[in-house]
Amino acid sequence: MSTFTFTDNRNGKSAEFPILNSVLGADVVDITTLNKELGVYTYDNGLSMTGSCQSDITYIDGGKGELLYRGYPIEQLAEKKKYLEVCYLLLNGELPTAEQFVAFEGSMREKRFPNEGLRNLFNAFPDDGHPMAVLSSAVSALSAFHHQHLNVQSQEEYMDMAIRLIAKMPTLAAYTYRHHMGYPLIYPDMDRYFTENFLYMMRAFPTGSTEISDVEVRAMDAIFTLHADHEQNASTSTVRLVGSTGAHPYAAVVAGINALWGRAHGGANESVIAQLEMIGSVENVDKFIKKAKDPNDDFRLMGFGHRVYKNFDPRAKVLRKLRDELRDTLGINSRLIEIANKVEEIALTDEYFVKRNLYPNIDFYSGTIFEALGIKRNMFTPIFVIGRTVGWLTQLIELKKDPSQKIFRPRQRYVGHTKRDI
Ligand code: CMC
């Protein structure tokens, strides 16, 4: 076995630690006995150098700009597969056969309806509450309706728990939106595919027909696929951390939803459009780029940069293409696209951004498509939640099935007072 040697130069003591091979990407040094051997812990601000688990779900090569779900490139999945096929792939490890897909899709349809009592919850919220606050509360409430999932043991139970939440998330997100708008809550339509049903629930009224085009369903479906999983990002790590304590799986997902809300993470999609609006015109772009580069200004170019991608985010590439394809069919706001293109053009050639490998990420492009689909800005991050729920649950199930997994309990470097008396 290959090993890695750590030497403490203060006393010359050294110890060897096993190197564990990865199938793709960097190998990892197993330092679980570091403190026992050398009496120190590692310090890794932001955990950017730390592998917190072993996983066979998603792989990212940030240098190449590559993203694989269960080995399949994201570009192929977004173009050739439906979102629910991708959900099946993530949860089961393989793409479904036609028969498996029919059964999986059918079981999802049946579970779209939350308990009727849960609808009352929405009346308790003010109309102007942020949809992320309402959605996270609704999912939290759902854990009270399904306490049978607190002690999930078998594969069958895991699937039941996961399918229930994936199926209900669009319903809860649509209720959140409808409450916010003062619209009556309507029931899911059992006759429609997952994504079409979500668009229906966002648009429908108790009477009259609801227009939803195939192009819109395909665009939203691809967006869900692009958001489905992203290995150990902040919200997924949060889900794993909470899950490691033995909390209810839906409580772990609620924690993930709240982590996703932040503008450094999933909340960026809402901020990108707000920022493009604030820039206002192509002529103003230079001024804002200058602000983003100023070390004394905390203004950041939203939708740029990524902890892992030091190249184009492959999801962003797919979305950029999709946005341009949809420009005419969906009536995408061309003023915002013009500003976005100018921002992109300058940032991709400016030394500040080039030197720091700051490329557009997924959130830079998703907002313009959401707007074209008639979705209000504060619903952008809840849509990210719908797509990501399967990733959070797949990662949680993986954690639960790993017999070696311990409760997450990091250490610290203490810099406070030494012991003192009152
Ligand atoms: N605009 C201007 N400067 C930036 C930006 C930006 N968007 N992002 C990073 N930098 C600079 C940063 O100031 C730092 O400069 P210096 O070396 O001079 O101090 C350098 O680039 C490295 O940045 P960092 O903050 O150390 O990088 P990080 O890996 O900790 O942060 C990030 C990654 C995504 C939080 C950050 O790039 C950011 O805040 N971007 C804007 C928000 C955004 O678009 N978030 C969505 C991420 S993708 C969706 C998702 O997966 O959630």
306 is annotated as an active-site residue: yes
Whose CA is closest to atom 11 on ligand 1?
A: 356
The pLDDT value recorded for residue 375 is 92
* DSSP letter string, 198-222: HHHHHH--SSS-----HHHHHHHHH
Percentage of the chain lying above the pLDDT 70 cut: 100
Q: How far is the CA of 41 from the centre of ligand 1 (A)?
A: 27
Q: How far is the CA of 143 from the centre of ligand 1 (A)?
A: 34
Q: Which of 306, 343, 352, 362 to mutate to test the pocket of ligand 1 (most atoms within 8 A of CB)?
A: 306
Q: How far apart, in Å, are the Cα atoms of 308 and each of 43, 48, 230, 359, 391?
A: 19, 9, 10, 11, 17
Which position among 30, 363, 417, 421 bears the catalytic label?
A: 363
333 has pLDDT over 90: no
Task: Return the SS3 of 284.
Answer: helix
Mean pLDDT is lowest, of 101-115, 367-381, 387-401, for: 367-381
Burial 80-114 (b: 16+ CB within 10 A, else e): ebbbbbbbbbbbeeebbeeeebeebbeebbebbeb
For ligand 1, residues with CB inside 6 Å are: 46, 230, 233, 264-266, 268, 292, 300-307, 356, 358, 361-363
CA distance 138 to 165: 11
Residue 372 — pLDDT band, cuts 50, 70, 90? confident
pLDDT tens across 265-322, in order? 998 898 999 999 999 999 999 999 999 999 999 999 999 999 999 988 999 999 999 9
The pLDDT value recorded for residue 207 is 86
Q: What ligand 1 atom has the least distance to the C-alpha of 233?
A: 51
Beta strands 3-8 and 13-20 are antiparallel
Residue 368 — pLDDT band, cuts 50, 70, 90? confident
248 is annotated as an active-site residue: no
The pLDDT value recorded for residue 294 is 96
The pLDDT value recorded for residue 219 is 94
Which position among 180, 248, 306, 313 bears the catalytic label?
A: 306
Whose CA is closest to atom 8 on ligand 1?
A: 305
Determine the average pLDDT of the residues in 31-56: 96
* DSSP letter string, 111-160: T-PPPGGGHHHHHTS-TTS-HHHHHHHHHHHHHHH-GGGGG--SHHHHHH
Helix orientation angle between 214-226 and 380-401, rounded to the nearest 10 degrees: 50
For the chain, helix, strand, coil in percent to 5 are: 55, 5, 35
pLDDT tens across 82-101, in order? 999 999 999 999 999 999 99
356 has pLDDT over 90: yes
CA distance 354 to 370: 28
Q: What ligand 1 atom has the least distance to the C-alpha of 307?
A: 29
Q: What is the mean pLDDT of the chain?
A: 95
The pLDDT value recorded for residue 312 is 87
pLDDT tens across 60-81, in order? 999 999 999 999 999 999 999 9
The pLDDT value recorded for residue 141 is 97
Reading the block at residue 61, the tokens are 């090569």
Q: Are 215 and 330 in contact (CB under 8 A)?
A: yes
12 has pLDDT over 90: yes
Q: How far is the CA of 357 from the centre of ligand 1 (A)?
A: 10
48 has pLDDT over 90: yes
Percentage of the chain lying above the pLDDT 90 cut: 89
